[in-house]
Amino acid sequence: MFTEEIRKHLVNDLIPFWDRIRDDEYGGFYGFMDADLVLDKKAKKGGILNSRILWFFSNAYLLLKDERCLRDAKQAYEILRDAFVDQEYGGIYWSVTYDKKPADDQKHAYNTAFAIYGLSSYYDASGDPEALRLAMTLFHTVEEKMRDEGGYLESFCRDFGPLDNEKLSEHGVNAERTMNTLLHMLEAYTELYRVTHDPEVASHIREMLDILHDKVYNAEKRRLECFFDLEYHSLVDLHSYGHDIEASWLVERTLEILSEQEYTDKVLPILHALRDCTLEQGFNGEYLYNECEKEDDKTAVWWVQAETIVALVNAYEKSGDEAYLQKAEKVWEFVRKYLINYEAGGEWHSETDPDGTDHKRPMVSLWKCPYHNGRMCMEVLKRLV
């Protein structure tokens, strides 16, 4: 029943919803829909949104072999290639106008990571060598312009001069490095390595795993620290339940793709610790809280619940412990009851109170996309069917 509901949700709800926001006049996908389902056809189009849509439809095609999904993936790929790539300085714009002119020309490592992620999957789905060439070009841009000896930096001007990291800083700090960017750069390079087996990509995956283990993981508190200065001093006492539960399965996938026993032995124990600590401290039996800074933020955030389901299904798959699967089914029950917006045709609310009161955040935005909940559906189906 669980997997059948997940399949129906993916096929009948999520894919049709995101297919409907195609912009067939100007290309790509519309950039904003408010909580009342009002679509703004002249909103800016975000690089993160279109890259995540590219990833979603590419992987939906790989799983389902639905040509509509490949068509939609191509739509996202073409706007990324034609409008978001800076032909003069390289890299990816943060956003473009509805008619494909540069809007925010800032370059951000996080944004670039999702472009690499989506392009790698699109290459796998389409076989288009141009997409892989672009992914590798962006990989080299990151390594040449968006890092230092200590790891990855965050935000840059159009010509890659330094810029404050306002895009990914929060909680009253201006972080020079973030766990979030490291996690998703690792995710992107894992996908790129999966389709290329390029040794240079593998070497940077190892480097990131070392940083995660040695600098970002707090062994005493069994969590990932979130915001750092250049020397990896943590800037805020914060436990991000969502990122830790996501990392617990996402980095395990990296270990499986890299397939090097030394790194599996080194990193896998901390992933289990992240999962167990997060469930102990942030899971109330129905859903996972958002984060904890002094006290728990009990908001039910859409992407946090999606990642929790994947992490629990992954734990069940690896251990055979039915308790993990039962927890996953309980979170799915919460999602069906409170987070799925049936008036929107099945896309999820961004966030709600524990009783399901909607916070009226956008249905579509720079950050609100089919990446987390769509990936949850596909991961569940690949692992349990």
- For the segment 294-317, what is each residue's pLDDT rounded down to a tens digit? 999 999 999 999 999 999 999 999
Count of domains observed in the chain: 1
Model pLDDT, residue 173: 85
Other C-beta atoms lying within 10 Å of the C-beta of residue 22: 16
Q: What is the rounded (10 degree) CA torsion for 278, 282, 286, 287? A: -80
Model pLDDT, residue 308: 98
The encoded tokens of residue 341 equal 């917006």
In CATH, what number is assigned to the domain containing residue 342?
1.50.10.10
Model pLDDT, residue 384: 96
Residue 265 has pLDDT above 80, yes or no: yes
pLDDT band, very low/low/confident/very high, at 227 (cuts 50, 70, 90): very high
Mean pLDDT of 39-60: 98
Residue 224 has pLDDT above 80, yes or no: yes
212 in Cβ contact with 251 (< 8 Å)? yes
Mean pLDDT of 35-62: 98
Model pLDDT, residue 273: 98
Mean pLDDT of 205-218: 98
Closest by CA position to 193, among listed 185, 205, 181, 180: 205
The encoded tokens of residue 288 equal 């996972």
Model pLDDT, residue 170: 75
Model pLDDT, residue 185: 98
Mean pLDDT of 70-75: 98
H/E stretch holding 40: strand 39-40
Residue 39 has pLDDT above 90, yes or no: yes
Q: What is the rounded (10 degree) CA torsion for 145, 150, 152, 158? A: -30
Mean pLDDT of 141-151: 97
pTM for this entry: 0.97
H/E stretch holding 152: strand 151-152
Residue 323 has pLDDT above 90, yes or no: yes
301 in Cβ contact with 290 (< 8 Å)? yes
Mean pLDDT of 361-365: 97
> Cα separation of 97 and 265, whole Å?
47
Task: Provide the residue range defining the domain that includes 258.
Answer: 2-384
Model pLDDT, residue 176: 95
Q: In this structure, what are the phi and psi dihedrals at residue 46, rounded to the nearest 5 degrees?
A: -85, 145
> Which residue type occupies 285?
G
The encoded tokens of residue 300 equal 């039910």
Mean pLDDT of 87-96: 98
Residue 169 has pLDDT above 80, yes or no: no
Give Cβ neighbours of residue 212 (< 8 Å, ≥ 6 apart). 182, 183, 186, 224, 247, 251, 267, 270
Model pLDDT, residue 166: 78
> Cα separation of 212 and 189, whole Å?
14
